[in-house]
């Protein structure tokens, strides 16, 4: 012990007593208010990367949790489901942020600040539902869709699963997007690609659940029952399938539970399992969604649906677990519909897991295969890091 | 689970798990920035006060610390070392401040023992005069010697932690500390109240 130790204790106590008052709240407000208005400095560059929208939203965080309008939802590790009084719901994907500007008896006004939000809007006579993303406004009148906003690229993607929406930019033209179409602000309206070739084995007539948009998930369409499994029953025998397709997720889930979740999962065919996982996810039952996906993996090993389940499980996971699921998807579907997406997300997951060297290697592979892919700038930044 | 409950859970996660917080900060989450401020602002304020003494710009320096922190977060390799990272940024900001003070003194042609305090702040405590003398004595030290002394003896950091916060090797930190201690003792001979404390201690 040095002779300064006793002095240190005494001085420390005296300094604690002498420390001037610190108004944390004022400091917080000042810091946040200064950021978007600043014009120089490395810190501001960081913030400008986030975008003025996010910075402005930060100001709204204070107290926003307590109010109904101006509510702020951030999903970090798992998806967050937000129910609305008029029956609609929104699912905020991990890593995404949503601001709810207003809830009304006929709808809501929400803003996607970052990432992806899936919205299932219940149709009403005077539905007034709007999803904003940057300068874009999506008017919804009863449909199921996803809106993805990339602030750094100022890019919006709207995918419509059911119904019709109108996408418009302030002072710009309006684009009508119908079921199975999507809108990308970089390229405009994208219609579904022609149907894929028939699967190797003859498949029965698809149930409504299998009529997913081709550009999203051809593997879901290509029904491939495992050995020993019964052919898919008609929709009436599986009421949750119809309900899920109609976007009535809570009712679909109730139907599954009424029939006995474990029993249903044990007997369901692959696409049905994916439909249950989807309904459970949208209805906020993450545990059942995960169980349905794991069951798909277990019971239908080697199928395209099992690969899809791996991709979806990665979406709910992070770090090493996400890496593992994405690697499995890529191994099982090296040329799948979501291979590019999975390869991109793998970079993010590896960085999240702190596996920087592997992330750089994966980034090099990504750039070699998808030089103009959506994750290319990110991959480039990883390969250029010292 | 209801939406507000889920939101709370996610914000709780940001508060409790540094890895999640760092991930969210790197991803540009404004909520995470607020959480980091709530988590660290008071500590940064205290740290700066002990390193610099009374300073009319203390709250500006807290702001500066967070700005630097956001800008440099990409260099943080281990998210679990977030608290240490915050301390090291505060130390860097304090070091710059001390260098500015010395520059001002140099430009003013004053003798070294008359390095002016940035703004005289009245310390309304019984030990106020001793503390004032303590910081006057610290003003005689080179900035890095002073910071090493404060981190070790007033902040109570271990040698390794101090070295990390000052961004120097352990050997360098020990050398700075030894020089700082010697010079502080030497300077204290000119300040009776401080000398009394030090003699009482030894």
pTM for the predicted model, two decimal places: 0.43
Note the pLDDT tens digit of each residue in A21-69: 888 888 887 776 655 433 323 333 334 333 333 333 332 232 223 233 3
What does A131-162 look like in DSSP terms, one character per residue?
Answer: EEETTEEEEESS-EEEEEEETTTTEEEEEEEE
Query: Does the beta carbon of A36 lie under 8 angstroms from any beta carbon of chain B?
Result: no
Q: Which of A125-129, A248-252, B146-150 has the highest mean pLDDT?
A: B146-150
A2–B31 C-beta distance less than 8 A: no
Confidence (pLDDT) at A336: 76
DSSP B151: I
* Residue of A10, A15, A68, A153 best to disrupt the B interface, most CBs of B under 10 A: A15
* pLDDT of B158 over the 70 cut: yes
For A42, which residue in chain B has the nearest alpha carbon?
A: B71
Query: Does the beta carbon of A196 lie under 8 angstroms from any beta carbon of chain B?
Result: no
* Residue of A21, A41, A43 best to disrupt the B interface, most CBs of B under 10 A: A43
Which segment of A235-239, A353-357, B56-60 scores lowest on mean pLDDT?
Answer: A235-239
Structure tokens belonging to residue A24: 């944390």
Q: Which is nearest to A31 in space by CA: B47, B27, B38, B18?
A: B38
Taking CB atoms and an 8 Å cutoff, what residues of chain B touch A352?
23
Taking CB atoms and an 8 Å cutoff, what residues of chain A touch B5?
none
**β-pairing, A128-133 with A136-140?**
antiparallel
Averaged pLDDT for residues A5-32: 82
Q: Which residue's structure tokens are 């109904």?
A: A68
> Is the distance from CB of A154 to CB of A136 less than 8 angstroms?
no
**β-pairing, A128-133 with A107-120?**
parallel
Q: Which ipTM was obtained for this model?
A: 0.77
> Is the distance from CB of A348 to CB of A358 less than 8 angstroms?
no
Q: How far is CA A274 from CA A221, A245, A304, A330, B119, in A?
A: 11, 12, 11, 19, 67
Confidence (pLDDT) at B169: 92
Structure tokens belonging to residue A152: 């750094």
CA–CA separation, A225 vs B137, rounded Å? 81
Q: Given B4, B130, B201, which is nearest A3 (Cβ)?
A: B201
C-alpha torsion A113→A115→A117→A118, nearest 10: 160
Averaged pLDDT for residues A1-25: 79
Q: How far is CA A119 from CA A87, A317, B43, B114, in A?
A: 11, 21, 41, 67
B28–A49 C-beta distance less than 8 A: yes
* Proportion of chain A above pLDDT 90, given as a percent: 7
Averaged pLDDT for residues B34-58: 90
Q: How far is CA B19 from CA A231, B79, B133, in A?
A: 46, 5, 42
Q: Given A17, A61, A80, which is nearest B34 (Cβ)?
A: A61
Confidence (pLDDT) at A3: 65
Map residue B126 onto helix, strand or coil.
coil
CA–CA separation, B25 vs B37, rounded Å? 11
Please report which confidence band the pLDDT of residue A385 belongs to, taking 50, 70 and 90 as the band edges.
Answer: low
CA–CA separation, A210 vs A222, rounded Å? 8
Backbone angles phi, psi at A226, to 5 degrees: -75, 165
Query: What is the distance in angstroms between the Cα of B109 and the nearest Cα belonging to chain A?
Result: 30
Query: What is the distance in angstroms between the Cα of A342 and the nearest Cα belonging to chain B?
Result: 18
CA–CA separation, B49 vs A16, rounded Å? 9
Confidence (pLDDT) at A278: 79
Which positions 144-173 of A are in contact with B (Cβ < 8 Å)? 151
For B202, which residue in chain A has the nearest alpha carbon?
A: A3
* Proportion of chain B above pLDDT 70, given as a percent: 78
Confidence (pLDDT) at A323: 92
Averaged pLDDT for residues B97-115: 62
H-run or E-run covering B60:
helix B58-72
Q: Roughly what angle, to the nearest 10 degrees, separates helices A4-18 and B192-201?
A: 130
Note the pLDDT tens digit of each residue in A72-121: 677 665 667 777 777 787 877 777 778 788 888 888 888 888 788 888 88
Note the pLDDT tens digit of each residue in A298-311: 888 888 888 888 98
DSSP B153: I
B3–A11 C-beta distance less than 8 A: no
Backbone angles phi, psi at A147, to 5 degrees: -125, 125
Higher pLDDT, A352 or B106: A352
Higher pLDDT, A289 or B62: B62
A14–B23 C-beta distance less than 8 A: no
Confidence (pLDDT) at B162: 92
List residues bridging with A158 in a β-sheet.
Answer: A147, A183
Please report which confidence band the pLDDT of residue A227 belongs to, taking 50, 70 and 90 as the band edges.
Answer: very low
């Amino acid at each position: 012990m040095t002779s300064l130790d006793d002095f240190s204790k005494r001085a420390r106590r005296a300094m604690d007593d002498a420390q001037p008052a610190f108004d944390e709240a004022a400091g917080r407000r000042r810091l946040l208010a200064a950021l978007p208005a600043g014009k120089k400095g490395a810190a501001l560059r960081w913030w400008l990367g986030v975008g003025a929208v996010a910075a402005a939203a930060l100001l709204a965080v204070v107290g926003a949790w307590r109010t109904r309008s101006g509510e702020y939802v951030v999903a970090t590790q798992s998806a967050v489901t937000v129910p609305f009084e008029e029956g609609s719901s929104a699912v905020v994907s991990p890593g995404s942020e949503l601001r709810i500007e207003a809830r009304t008896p006929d709808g809501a006004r929400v803003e996607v600040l970052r990432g992806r939000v899936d919205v299932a809007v219940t149709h009403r006579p005077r539905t007034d539902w709007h999803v904003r993303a940057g300068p874009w406004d999506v008017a919804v009148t009863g449909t199921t869709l996803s809106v993805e906003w990339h602030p750094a690229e100022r890019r919006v993607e709207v995918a419509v699963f059911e119904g019709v929406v109108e996408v418009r930019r302030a002072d710009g033209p309006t684009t009508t997007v119908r079921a199975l179409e999507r809108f990308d602000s970089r390229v405009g309206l994208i219609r579904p690609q022609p149907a894929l070739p028939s699967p190797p084995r003859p498949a029965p007539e698809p149930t409504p659940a299998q009529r997913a948009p081709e550009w999203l998930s051809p593997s879901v369409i290509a029904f491939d029952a495992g050995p020993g499994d019964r052919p898919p029953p008609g929709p009436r025998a599986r009421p949750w399938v119809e309900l899920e397709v109609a976007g009535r997720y809570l009712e679909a889930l109730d139907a599954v539970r009424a029939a006995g979740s474990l029993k249903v999962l044990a007997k369901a065919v692959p696409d049905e399992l994916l439909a249950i996982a989807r309904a459970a996810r949208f209805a906020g039952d993450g545990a059942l969604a995960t169980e349905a996906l794991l069951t798909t993996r277990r019971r239908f090993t080697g199928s395209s649906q099992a690969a899809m389940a791996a991709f979806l499980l990665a979406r709910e996971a992070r770090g090493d677990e996400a890496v593992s699921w994405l690697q499995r998807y890529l191994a099982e579907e090296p040329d799948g519909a979501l291979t590019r997406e999975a390869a991109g997300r793998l970079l993010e997951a590896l960085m999240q897991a702190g596996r920087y060297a592997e992330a750089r290697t994966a980034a090099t592979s990504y750039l070699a295969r998808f030089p103009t892919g959506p994750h290319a700038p990110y991959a480039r930044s990883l390969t250029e890091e010292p | 689970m209801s939406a507000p409950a889920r939101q709370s859970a996610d914000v709780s996660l940001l508060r409790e798990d540094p890895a999640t917080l760092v991930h969210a900060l790197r991803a540009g989450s404004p909520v995470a920035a607020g959480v980091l401020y709530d988590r660290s602002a008071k500590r940064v304020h205290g740290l700066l006060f002990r390193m610099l003494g009374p300073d009319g710009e203390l709250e500006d320096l807290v702001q500066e610390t967070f700005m630097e922190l956001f800008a440099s977060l990409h260099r943080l390799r281990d998210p679990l070392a977030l608290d240490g990272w915050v301390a090291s940024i505060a130390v860097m900001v304090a070091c710059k401040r001390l260098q500015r003070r010395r520059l001002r003194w140099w430009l003013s042609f004053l003798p070294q023992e008359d390095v002016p305090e940035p703004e005289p702040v009245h310390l309304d405590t019984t030990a106020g005069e001793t503390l004032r003398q303590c910081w006057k004595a610290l003003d005689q030290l080179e900035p890095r010697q002073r910071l090493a002394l404060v981190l070790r003896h007033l902040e109570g950091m271990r040698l390794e932690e101090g070295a990390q916060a000052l961004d120097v090797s352990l050997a360098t930190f020990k050398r700075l500390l030894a020089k700082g201690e010697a010079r502080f003792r030497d300077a204290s001979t000119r300040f009776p109240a401080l000398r009394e404390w030090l003699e009482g201690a030894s």
